[in-house]
Structure 1
Amino acid sequence: MRVRPLLGALGAALLLSAGCGIPASSDVRVDGKAGTATGAGSSNGRSSEPPSRTASGSDNAAFVRNFLSAAAGEPDRAYERVKAFIAPEHRPRLQDKQGSEVVLNVVRLGETVFTFNSDSTTTVKITVQQIGVLRTNGTLAPPVATEKQYEFRLRSAALGGVGSDERAGQYLLDPPNALLLSDVALQQYYQDESIYFWNSDRTRLVPDQRYLPYAVPDERRVNEVVRWLVGGPSDWLRPGVVGLPDGTELINNATGANNRWEVNLDMSGDDQSRVDQVITQLAWSLGDLPGELELKIRNNSQPVQDLDERRKAQPLYPVREDPQRYGVYEGAIRPLDFAGEPSGVVPLTPEVNRAIVSAGLARGVNRVLAALVVTSGKDRQRLAVGAGADTVAALGRSAGEYVSISRPVWLRTADTRPAQGLVVADSRLYRFDEAARMSQVPLNLPTPDVTAVAAALDGQRIALIAGGQLYVAALTLDGSGSGLSIGPPRALVTSLTNLTAVDWIGEDRLVVAGSVGQPAIYEISVDGALETPLRTDVGAKVNHLTAYPTNRSLRAPTGAYMYEANKVAYRSSPSERIVPEQVRDVPTPPAGVRPSNPSAPFFLY
């Protein structure tokens, strides 16, 4: 028997967690004699502790789901919780590790097969995709395990066994010698959070995704966040940011009562501006935690800070809350009109607003930046780049011509240094500057063939598609704005195959186009662990994708991403085709002439 879930996204996973317990992406096949299905676990949403061994009764699927949740929570008891599911005589097969060595292998489930045996046991085979390793510092590191399948057996506790004194529920036999955690359990028992590190010139905070168990009480949340900051950034992010000064340590534990939090750091240096930056870093890293913060440096108190006021005074990103939509129509950029949304003026003079294929426009400090892909002769393209206070009137053009150029993206800065951006031309990644000078960017990847590039709002992180694989990497920009280097790219594991397009839709979220048997668009976390299907009925390969990257300061607009497939442009949420009537500032075509389709939509913010 096979059960194919018809519900999508996280909602399906959580609904299924109250039923058979198999995530939305998996199949279930039962071989042999069918057992009795019973209800499994609680359906009241997220909780701090995973279900106990006996919570699933005799329901095999629910037992497996609960076993793959048992490691969730505070790491010092992870082995204890998992071993409670294992028959006493088989517990030595799972070798304990202590302290910082406790890691959870996060897996995405594929097919689960149950085979009923003549000795009254049940053999379980689960097909998995290794997503990563969840460490005690809350980071999800790249996967280490290579197993694509795990096999073990189940036995009714009523049958007894060596050392068994509990006759309720079931036990697991022949356990894997690793702590396994399903991606559904990661979503259900952990809060994904961002802590923040300053970029190399300390002009912008850059988010770093972490996971905090719901089991950690609120009064310890501050302590955990401070420890994460003291421990430094994630490995892949490290080249693009700076940590706290070397040797910084937390003195005692961070404490709090009545919304007043005290943090005492042993931190070198007497630079007051640096201390002030640490306060801002803490305010944002504590999320939406209300109240007051008293930071002490070697027991010397700094002025007490209201956390909400500090966040308001030091915003994460200088962006507008009302992004404007544009598209390309008959070779020119035109505003797009949607009810209830602002519609802007094209920031290009008519003389340069022509022969355009796609565009990347951005608001810099007191100016507008334009990077345009323009036609150049028969079947060739060039990159055209310019800047202006309100309107771009002149463009520099790339020296070389290319068969194909992707949508260019700007790397945003918080100051007036010369701007630079990234673009893919003929399957190679290039850096470009305001004069349209292009230089190829070396990448340490298995393949040099790049399909797409996207830049995060902080200007220090990028996402790449190369060889059909999704990567993220940190950037290091030099102080003059004349160059950059890319840290070692991190490959992300995803259910999608044949990836074609990517953009940032949030601080720690990407929107990615690929295939799950048919063209689809997914939202994927920056570490690849969390997936949400957005569109699974696209119908054709997506060759252009753009999004507005919201964050904790800015709400998401309706239709936060747009895309193009089969030469037709679409707006999301609700999904609708962008039609010629929504293109502003164009003359009505003569009678009998069919209007063109708008293409290459994008946001200006």
Structure 2
Amino acid sequence: MRRRLLTGVLGGALVMAVSAGCGIPDRTEVQIEQRGPAAETNWSLGRGNEPPTREASGSDADAFVRNFLAAAAGEPDRAYERVKRFIATPERGGLQVKQGSEVALSVVRLTENPLIEPDVDSMKVTISVQQVGLLRANGMLVPPLATESTYEFRLVNAGPAGEDDAGFYVSNPPNLLLLSDDALRRYYEAEPIYFWNSDRTRLVPDQRYLSSAVPAERRVSEVVRWLTAGPSEWLRVGVSGLPDRTEMINNATGSDGRWEVNLDMPGADEMRLEQLGTQLALSLPELDGTLEIKILNQSRKVVDLGERRRLNSLYRIDVNARRYCVYDGAIHALTVSGEPAGAVPVAPEANRDIVSAALRRADEDVLAAVVVAGEDGRQRLAVGRGRGVVESLDTGSTAYTEMGRPVWIRSDGSRPAGLVVADGRLHRFDDRAATRQVQLGLPGQVTAVAAALDGHRVALVVDGALYVAAINWSGGLPTLGPARRLVSSLTDVTAVDWWAENRLLVAGSVGRPAIYDVSVDGALETPLREDTGTQVNHLAAYPTTPALSPLAGSFMYEANGVAYSNPVERINRDQVQDVTPPAAGLRPGNPTAPVFLY
């Protein structure tokens, strides 16, 4: 069975080194740049991978430690068996063995290389870690339970004295199953599955991890079990699970383009079965042919998987996206790397005093939400809608000291809505620019917000930390559920945007300002810009989706009042369209607040 490979590259698989455009002048290091993500392809470096055996590292102690942190990878019912093979025989009984659904792996990120110190008859190992999450047997990564920042154990020689190439065993092992984030990337596949939103009009992705050692014929059964188990806890407020007590009867069966799933599903009427067929078709994108759904051994629905996917496109997105920026207080078209420039979507009469903007297509219309600066130095939100061009903007009555970049939330309703950060608080706004504070239940200052394409998930930056939350549209207005904090190598996070279904573009610090690709649960991350020179305060991404576009995976950002695009390239004034040259003796300004229209 195959997984579709779409635009972009696998996270961590390909790297493009760029030496042109060294960034902000106070730094001169070569910048490392990666292209955009694949449209939710897996992160695995290979399928069918089994973690290395104890003997694989030979006499290399560092390699042995890293292999030990991968030993638990694979099918949950064999995790303890694989780990015990690394442990000295007399101590294997000390590991508390759990069975079935109770098996869980503590995913950790090494913050330093393992410290290995020779001792009299062994070696002392200290690993410093960041607790990332708990990987459950159902493929769900939940927030971590462990709090340890270091673990210590010993390595003893596996052979007789003087035989140094027999490898090692672990002595005094941690009393839990550890899995490094590197092993998670290598031996699992990040798989999106889909749940209907609260009013059952749109599918919303959730993320699971499947061992790449699971045989192809069992993958259908695993996905069905994930769906019956329900969505991730943080997503529950915005989506609907299958009916209570839904269970799979035996494993899914089939081959050669015909599969069969047998369920016990209370209330399985025609509508429920139709929607389940769509969920399965989208959650099993590598599967072709037909899938028969049985309820208590009775055939109830036959789904043409490819046709169902064709008729249920997840995202309506303009593949002819265009770039824009703010220059001299107005929105202007941008050209980068020879791309065609778009027409300015805001009429000249309304296109002034602008600080930042959110632009979005809604069928034939364009939505514009802009932050405008008043003569009093305070900022207000202005919103407009027009067929191709927004002729006028409605300005909100509330003024703020400082506002962040607004974002539109995609919805099926006729009245669009969005979110904006103002004076350290999150606010929602409507199509008349009226704002109302959103209660998050989190202490601290909100500094950035980004909305996913599905319209039911947001990412937030609060006091320099990264969060995700689900949106509930009950009553026609967006409200946010409990936020989940993500664990990342990045500290002092300053900006975020979505650039794939389950992937975030995040700016923060790793001892120096950087931009990372971070999975929606924080577990998998890839550096995209390892040194931006100074703090990034604005990010804009064109998300990668199955609707292919030349801009898929592109992003732009602003740092220290200077705009950049990827690959590393400063956006100069000559790339800004339709601007008046500055008067003699005056230096031209810089393009700021870059944004995509799609």
TM-score by length of 2: 0.89
Quick one: structure 1 residues 274 and 45, their matched pair in 2 at CA, closer, same or farther if it must change by over 3 Å?
A: closer
Structure 1 residue 578 displacement after superposition: 1.0
Match for residue 330 of structure 1?
328
Residue 215 of structure 1 aligns to a residue whose secondary structure is coil
Matches within 5 A, 1:45-60: 47-60=48-61
Residue 512 of structure 1 aligns to a residue whose secondary structure is strand
Match for residue 491 of structure 1?
485
- Distance in 1, matches of 2:270 and 2:186, equals 41
Asked whether the equivalents of residues 456 and 549 of structure 1 are also in contact (C-alpha less than 8 Å), the reply is: no
Match for residue 594 of structure 1?
587
Structure 1 residue 591 displacement after superposition: 5.4
Residue deviations 1:113-148, cap 9 Å, x none? Answer: 545444320000000000000001111100100000
- Give 1:139's aligned amino acid: M
Structure 1 residue 330 displacement after superposition: 1.0
- Distance in 2, matches of 1:112 and 1:397, equals 54
Match of 2:392 among 374, 391, 394: 394
- Distance in 1, matches of 2:135 and 2:413, equals 39
Match of 1:434 among 431, 435, 438: 431
Correspondence 1:522 to 2:516: yes
Matched pairs, number:
558
Residue 236 of structure 1 aligns to a residue whose secondary structure is helix
Residue deviations 1:346-393, cap 9 Å, x none? Answer: 222211111100001111244221110000123211011122232222
Residue 544 of structure 1 aligns to a residue whose secondary structure is strand
Match for residue 155 of structure 1?
156
Asked whether the equivalents of residues 499 and 553 of structure 2 are also in contact (C-alpha less than 8 Å), the reply is: no
Match for residue 417 of structure 1?
414
Match for residue 28 of structure 2?
none
- Distance in 2, matches of 1:527 and 1:180, equals 18
Match for residue 448 of structure 1?
444
Matches within 5 A, 1:42-81: 47-81=48-82
Correspondence 1:254 to 2:252: yes
Match for residue 603 of structure 1?
596
- Give 1:474's aligned amino acid: A
- Distance in 2, matches of 1:220 and 1:577, equals 49
Asked whether the equivalents of residues 423 and 429 of structure 1 are also in contact (C-alpha less than 8 Å), the reply is: yes
Structure 1 residue 167 displacement after superposition: 9.6
Matches within 5 A, 1:334-345: 334-339=332-337, 341-345=339-343
Correspondence 1:506 to 2:500: yes
- Distance in 1, matches of 2:548 and 2:287, equals 17
Residue 98 of structure 2 aligns to a residue whose secondary structure is coil
Q: Which runs of 5+ in 2 are unaligned?
A: 1-9, 16-44
Asked whether the equivalents of residues 294 and 301 of structure 2 are also in contact (C-alpha less than 8 Å), the reply is: no
Residue 309 of structure 1 aligns to a residue whose secondary structure is helix
Asked whether the equivalents of residues 280 and 314 of structure 1 are also in contact (C-alpha less than 8 Å), the reply is: yes
Structure 1 residue 580 displacement after superposition: 1.3
Asked whether the equivalents of residues 322 and 342 of structure 1 are also in contact (C-alpha less than 8 Å), the reply is: no
Match for residue 272 of structure 1?
270
TM-score by length of 1: 0.88
Structure 1, 586-595 or 278-287: larger mean CA deviation: 586-595
Structure 1 residue 554 displacement after superposition: 3.7
Quick one: structure 1 residues 188 and 555, their matched pair in 2 at CA, closer, same or farther if it must change by over 3 Å?
A: farther
Asked whether the equivalents of residues 347 and 392 of structure 1 are also in contact (C-alpha less than 8 Å), the reply is: yes
- Give 2:315's aligned amino acid: Y
- Distance in 2, matches of 1:510 and 1:118, equals 44
Match of 1:475 among 471, 476, 488: 471
Match for residue 575 of structure 1?
568
Quick one: structure 1 residues 424 and 200, their matched pair in 2 at CA, closer, same or farther if it must change by over 3 Å?
A: same
- Distance in 1, matches of 2:557 and 2:14, equals 27
Match for residue 173 of structure 1?
171
Matches within 5 A, 1:110-509: 110-159=111-160, 168-269=166-267, 271-302=269-300, 304-339=302-337, 341-413=339-411, 415-445=412-442, 447-479=443-475, 482-509=476-503
Residue deviations 1:71-105, cap 9 Å, x none? Answer: 00000000000011000111122110111110000
Correspondence 1:108 to 2:109: yes
Residue deviations 1:316-335, cap 9 Å, x none? Answer: 01111222111111111111
CA RMSD of aligned residues (A): 2.1
- Distance in 2, matches of 1:144 and 1:383, equals 41
Structure 1, 263-272 or 81-90: larger mean CA deviation: 263-272
- Give 1:237's aligned amino acid: L
Asked whether the equivalents of residues 545 and 552 of structure 2 are also in contact (C-alpha less than 8 Å), the reply is: no
- Distance in 1, matches of 2:318 and 2:326, equals 22
- Distance in 1, matches of 2:303 and 2:218, equals 19
- Distance in 2, matches of 1:272 and 1:157, equals 61
- Identity rate, percent: 60
Structure 1 residue 553 displacement after superposition: 4.2
Structure 1 residue 592 displacement after superposition: 5.1
Structure 1 residue 13 displacement after superposition: 12
Residue 400 of structure 2 aligns to a residue whose secondary structure is coil
Structure 1 residue 45 displacement after superposition: 5.6
Asked whether the equivalents of residues 550 and 556 of structure 1 are also in contact (C-alpha less than 8 Å), the reply is: no
- Distance in 1, matches of 2:589 and 2:387, equals 31
Asked whether the equivalents of residues 411 and 419 of structure 1 are also in contact (C-alpha less than 8 Å), the reply is: yes
Residue 379 of structure 1 aligns to a residue whose secondary structure is coil
- Distance in 1, matches of 2:574 and 2:478, equals 42
Asked whether the equivalents of residues 158 and 169 of structure 1 are also in contact (C-alpha less than 8 Å), the reply is: yes
Quick one: structure 1 residues 114 and 362, their matched pair in 2 at CA, closer, same or farther if it must change by over 3 Å?
A: closer
Quick one: structure 1 residues 118 and 273, their matched pair in 2 at CA, closer, same or farther if it must change by over 3 Å?
A: closer
Residue deviations 1:3-30, cap 9 Å, x none? Answer: xxxxxx975999xxxxxxxxxxxxxxxx
- Distance in 2, matches of 1:505 and 1:363, equals 17
Residue 158 of structure 1 aligns to a residue whose secondary structure is coil
- Distance in 2, matches of 1:102 and 1:577, equals 49
